[in-house]
Amino acid sequence: MLKKNKASEQLLKYGSTIKRILEYIGNYRWWVLLSLVLAAVTVASTLYAPILTGDAVDRIIAPGNVDFAQIGRILRRMGIVIAITCVSQWLMNHINNRITYQVVKDIRTKAFGHLEILPLRYVDSHPSGDVISRIISDIDQFSEGLLMGFTQLFTGIITILGTIGFMFAINPVIAVVVVCVTPLSLLAAGYIARKTYAMFQKQSETRGELTSLVDEMLGNLKVVQAFGHEREAQERFDEINERLGVYSLRATFFSSVTNPATRFVNSLVYASVGIVGALAAVRGLLSVGQLSVFLSYANQYTKPFNEISGVVTELQNALASAARVFELIDEEPLLPDAADAVDLGKADGSVAMDHVYFSYTRENPLIEDFNLDVKPGQRIALVGPTGCGKSTVINLLMRFYDVDSGAVRVDGNDIRNVTRRSLRANYGMVLQETWLKSGTIRENIAYGRPDAAEDEVIRAAKAAHAHSFIRRMPDGYDTVISEDGGNLSQGQKQLLCIARVMLCLPPMLILDEATSSIDTRTEIRVQEAFARMMEGRTSFIVAHRLSTIREADRILVMRDGHIVEQGRHEELLARGGFYAQLYRSQFAPTAGS
């Protein structure tokens, strides 16, 4: 019973995937129609050639009795037919390539576009390598199968139908023999195809798992080597690679059985035509030329079955890959901006959080009844032990996540009623984890303001104390840095991220351990630059080094998603509470000092 349910679910998924692919192909229906017309022309001219051959054979009556004049005319006709076949086939293949790559482009664009509107919850809970595998590898696998489907499936089906039509026109009895044997080939191919799909599906999933592991190891190779984790990583890789090998082998085995099985049935068809045709020729019901035509048709009739069996194998792989891509596209996107969402414009910087509740998972509540009222221009510091909810508050302020209940307000507006773009345009954000794109240093600094003038970019770099090291680079601001700034130190990358915010100078700032990777001397200078930048701007500072937040207007001390203390630095120290404990733990004299 369980097997039946699984098979029916698989069949439904299979049908649903095909339906969606056809919807994408439907956007190019006129090209498809033209391809079908050209396929029909190709098949018709290909099938007409054996008739000309048979006619030529019948003109060779006996030794010394050959109608050369008629054969010459037949050969000229054959030349024209072959030319038509070549041209129509070339055009058909060109159109099929165009349709395939347009469909693949549409699906990949849709997948990437959908990825950009997926909630952060999805990105946080799925390995990046698996997502990359779906958008790159799976779509490539799909394109190969779709291309083969267009070039061989259409032509094969039309060839089969056309051949049967021609055979019925010449001799219905032999045509009936062919049709009666054909279902055996279809049954064999259908049975094997069902087995193959499941294996290709597992193959695609495991390939994504392997891509994810390689991406993870490559992105964190220094950490892997520093902790001597190479052997464990290799063992994990070997285990996944072994599974991929098993699934690939099984998929290849089942798919490779299809061709021999159909070839066996096709040989039966050819033999049946040969025997029945020979008997008919002996009785005078069929000429030798017509027998040669039938044998040629029998060969052409069976050939598409072999091709289609190969195509079916590729289509199984393509469908399994397409199903994974559609799973990504079907993921629930971010709630769109409300229809009446307002553009925030330039905010004055007042922020409030009213009775906010939030958790990443229902089982583990994090933020509970959180209240905050920030006046324009205030500097708010968030401190507390790891996991207390500091970064979560930032996520809620930026609306990377929506609150479970309560409200976050900017300028009195519930941010759920404000467009995300206008909300985030009012924040400048520098995180502990730096991100730079592959491109020039200038492009990275101007990421938030691509139209910024040269002198503005340089001024921002100077304010962030990045100008000196940029000048020492081979091409200065035109130096191309690799993906994620791999050819820069961590401190240099963080300085560029700080310069990026200093160029935009939005009304509100979020600094999440913004100077964690910078040396002490540069940090002092950057803190001075931050102090100037924060003047008149609402600022949220997340810090573990409490020495960096002494000048904050208000320090929120968090613990388990609650504000347990708040006030200025001196006030909190005087109270001798949790903040004082945290502060003393950082600045307590070491033993023997």
| β-bridge mates for residue 356, sequence order | 370
Lowest mean pLDDT among 137-151, 238-252, 400-414: 137-151
Task: Classify burial at 474, counting beta carbons within 10 Å of its beta carbon; exposed 0-12, middle 13-18, buried 19 or more.
Answer: exposed
Pull the structure tokens for residue 427: 């924040």
Angle between helical axes of 490-504 and 454-463 (0-180°, round to 10): 120
DSSP string across 498-535: HHHHHHH--SEEEEESTTTTS-HHHHHHHHHHHHHHHT
Which of residues 12 and 589 earns the better pLDDT score? 12
Closest CA to 38 of 114, 77, 110, 94: 94
591: three-class secondary structure by DSSP: coil
Q: What are phi and psi of 105, to 5 degrees?
A: -60, -45
CATH number of the structural domain 351-587: 3.40.50.300
pTM over 0.85: no
DSSP string across 245-273: HHHHHHHHHHHHHHHHHHHHHHHHHHHHH
Please report which confidence band the pLDDT of residue 150 belongs to, taking 50, 70 and 90 as the band edges. Answer: low
| 565 pLDDT above the threshold of 60 | yes
Angle at 176 between CA 175 and CA 179, to 5 degrees: 90
Asked if 302 and 295 count as a contact pair (C-beta separation under 8 A), the reply is: no
Query: What does DSSP say about strands 480-481 and 508-512: parallel, antiparallel, or unpaired?
Result: unpaired
| 123 pLDDT above the threshold of 70 | yes
pLDDT digits (tens, 9 = 90+) for 196-237: 666 777 777 788 788 877 877 776 766 677 667 778 888 888
Pull the structure tokens for residue 212: 């994810």
Q: What is the 3-state secondary structure (H, E, C) of 134-174?
A: HHHHHHHHHHHHHHHHHHHHHHHHHHHHHHHHHHHHHCHHH
Quote the CA–CA distance of 209 and 126 in Å, as a whole number.
11
Q: Which residue has the tokens 């089969």?
A: 160
CATH number of the structural domain 23-329: 1.20.1560.10
Q: What is the pLDDT of residue 591?
A: 42
Q: What is the pLDDT of residue 87?
A: 92
Quote the CA–CA distance of 73 and 354 in Å, as a whole number.
93
Please report which confidence band the pLDDT of residue 590 belongs to, taking 50, 70 and 90 as the band edges. Answer: very low
Average pLDDT, integer, range 88-101: 86
Residue ranges of domains in the chain? 23-329, 351-587
Asked if 61 and 50 count as a contact pair (C-beta separation under 8 A), the reply is: no
